[in-house]
C-alpha cells in the first residue's frame, strides 16, 4: 500500500505536447518520478485525434519500464478500451480514471480484469461532497475486489471547485476553502481502509511560499503525492514527500522499544498508538532507498 509514495510530484502532460516521448523516457526532466499523459481536460475535443495519434507513436518509442512511473489519463471508458488494444500498452504502469463514480466504475474496471495495470481513479464529481456516497463507493470497491488494483485515489481539486463556482485563491491554501473539509472527509473515509490519496494541483506558478504552505497541509492530512502542472514545482513536491531522517529515527525506535511510553527527540512516543505511523515511515524510507 506504500508504493503510491513513489509518485512524488505527478506531472500532468497533455498528449498534444511536442516532447511526450523524451518526457516518457525520462530524458526531458531526469528528476521526474511519475508522469500522467492526459487525453481528457487538457486536450480540446477537436485535438483528440491528434492526441491519440501522438499517444500511439509515443508508446511505440517508449523504452521499456524505466524507474519513471507512466500513466495515461483516459478521457472515458471507450478510450481505455482503445488503448488496451494497442501493442505497446504494456510499457505503461496504468491509467488515471477521471470523474469516477458508481455510474462508470464497472465500465472502467471490467476491461482491466486479467491485466497487471494499476489505476488511479479521480474523485471529482458532486458525489465527493456527500460522505455517505463516498462510503458507498469505498464499500463497493472493497467488495468487488478492486482495491488491489488501485495505486491511489486522486483528488480533483479544480473540478471540485468548479462545481462550487469557485477558483483557487492566490492568497491562501486549498485547505482554507470549502475543499479543506472535503479533503479531510475523504481521508477519514478511505485511509482507514487502506486506500492512499494524492493531493490536488497547485495552479499558481508564482506563489512558491504558498505552495510550500499547502504541501505542509498535504502531509498533515496523510496524502501521498501531489499533481504538478509545471516542472518547476517538482523539486518542492518531491522534497516535501521524502521522509525526514528525524521521523525515520523516531519510527525505528518506536518499533523496537519495549516501553509502553517514552520520550524521543522531545516528543512522547507511545508504540500502542504510534506503531502504524512508524511502520509507514520505515516502509516509505525503504522504498526511497530501494
What string of DSSP letters covers 113-166? TTS--EEEEEE-SGGGG-HHHHHHHHHHHHHTT-GGGBS-EEE-HHHHHHHTT-
Q: Residues with Cβ < 8 Å from 260, sequence gap 6 or more?
A: 270, 271, 272
How many structural domains compose the chain?
Answer: 2
Residue-wise pLDDT tens digits, 116-175 = 999 999 999 999 999 999 999 999 999 999 999 999 999 999 999 999 999 999 999 999
The 10s digit of each residue's pLDDT in 210-231 is 999 999 999 999 999 999 999 9
**CATH code where residue 186 lies:** 3.20.20.60
- Its pTM stands at 0.93
pLDDT by residue (tens digit) across 63-122? 986 689 999 999 999 999 999 999 899 999 999 999 999 999 999 999 999 999 999 999
Range with the lowest mean pLDDT among 25-29, 54-58, 142-146, 280-284? 280-284
- Average pLDDT of the residues of the chain: 92
* Structure-block grid coordinates of residue 72: 495515461
Dihedral pair phi/psi, residue 155, rounded to 5°: -95, 115
Band of pLDDT at residue 23, cut at 50, 70 and 90: very high
**185 and 106 in one domain?**
yes
Same domain, 160 and 282: no
Q: Is residue 157 located within the same domain as residue 278? A: no
Same domain, 93 and 151: yes
Q: What does the pLDDT read at residue 70?
A: 97
Q: 249 and 235: one domain?
A: no
- Mean pLDDT is lowest, of 75-89, 190-204, 266-280, for 266-280
Q: Are residues 147 and 257 in the same domain?
A: no
What does DSSP assign to residue 243? P
Tell me what the mean pLDDT of segment 262-282 comes to.
88
For 244, which DSSP code?
P
Q: Assess whether 127 and 198 both reside in one domain.
A: yes
d(CA 84, CA 28): 26
Burial class (CB in 10 A: 0-12, 13-18, 19+), 289: exposed
Q: List Cβ neighbours of 207 (8 Å cut-off, separation of 6 or more).
A: 170
By residue range, what is the domain housing residue 190? Answer: 3-242
Looking at the predicted structure, is the pLDDT value of residue 1 above 80? no
| Same domain, yes or no: 224 and 131 | yes
Same domain, 249 and 160: no
Asked if 142 and 281 sit in the same domain, the reply is no
| Nearest alpha carbon to residue 67 among 117, 20, 31 | 31
For the record, the C-alpha cell of 57 comes out as 507513436
Q: 64 or 19: which carries more pLDDT confidence?
A: 19
Contact (CB, 8 A) for 247 and 5: no
Residue 232 sits in the same domain as residue 213: yes
How confident is the model at residue 257, as a pLDDT?
81
Question: 95 and 213 share a domain?
Answer: yes
**Percent of all residues in the chain with a pLDDT value above 70, rounded to a whole number:** 98
Amino acid at each position: 500500500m506504500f508504493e503510491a509514495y513513489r509518485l512524488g510530484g505527478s506531472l500532468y502532460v497533455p498528449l498534444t505536447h511536442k516532447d511526450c516521448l523524451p518526457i516518457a523516457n525520462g530524458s526531458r526532466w531526469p528528476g521526474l518520478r511519475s508522469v500522467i499523459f492526459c487525453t481528457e481536460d487538457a486536450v480540446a475535443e477537436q485535438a483528440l485525434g491528434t492526441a491519440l495519434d501522438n499517444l500511439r507513436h509515443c508508446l511505440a518509442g517508449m523504452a521499456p519500464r524505466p524507474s519513471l512511473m507512466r500513466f495515461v489519463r483516459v478521457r472515458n471508458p471507450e478510450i481505455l478500451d482503445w488503448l488496451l488494444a494497442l501493442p505497446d500498452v504494456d510499457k505503461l504502469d496504468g491509467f488515471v480514471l477521471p470523474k469516477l463514480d458508481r455510474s462508470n466504475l464497472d465500465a472502467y474496471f471490467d476491461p482491466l480484469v486479467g491485466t497487471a495495470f494499476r489505476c488511479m481513479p479521480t474523485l471529482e464529481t458532486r458525489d465527493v461532497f456527500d460522505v455517505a456516497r463516498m462510503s458507498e463507493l469505498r464499500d463497493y470497491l472493497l467488495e468487488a475486489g478492486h482495491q488491489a488494483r488501485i495505486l491511489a485515489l486522486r483528488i480533483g481539486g479544480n473540478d471540485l471547485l468548479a462545481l462550487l463556482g469557485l477558483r483557487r485563491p492566490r492568497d491562501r491554501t486549498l485547505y482554507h476553502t470549502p475543499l479543506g473539509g472535503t479533503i479531510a472527509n475523504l481521508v477519514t473515509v478511505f485511509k482507514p481502509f487502506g486506500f492512499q490519496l494524492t493531493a490536488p494541483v497547485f495552479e499558481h506558478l508564482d506563489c512558491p511560499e504558498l505552495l510550500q504552505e499547502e504541501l505542509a497541509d498535504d502531509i498533515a492530512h496523510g496524502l501521498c503525492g501531489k499533481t504538478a502542472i509545471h516542472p518547476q514545482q517538482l523539486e518542492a513536491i518531491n522534497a516535501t514527500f521524502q521522509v525526514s531522517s528525524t521521523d525515520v529515527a523516531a519510527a525505528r525506535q518506536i518499533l523496537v522499544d519495549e516501553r509502553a511510553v517514552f520520550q524521543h527527540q522531545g516528543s512522547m512516543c507511545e508504540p500502542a498508538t504510534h506503531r502504524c505511523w512508524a511502520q509507514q515511515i520505515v516502509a516509505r524510507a525503504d522504498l526511497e532507498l530501494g
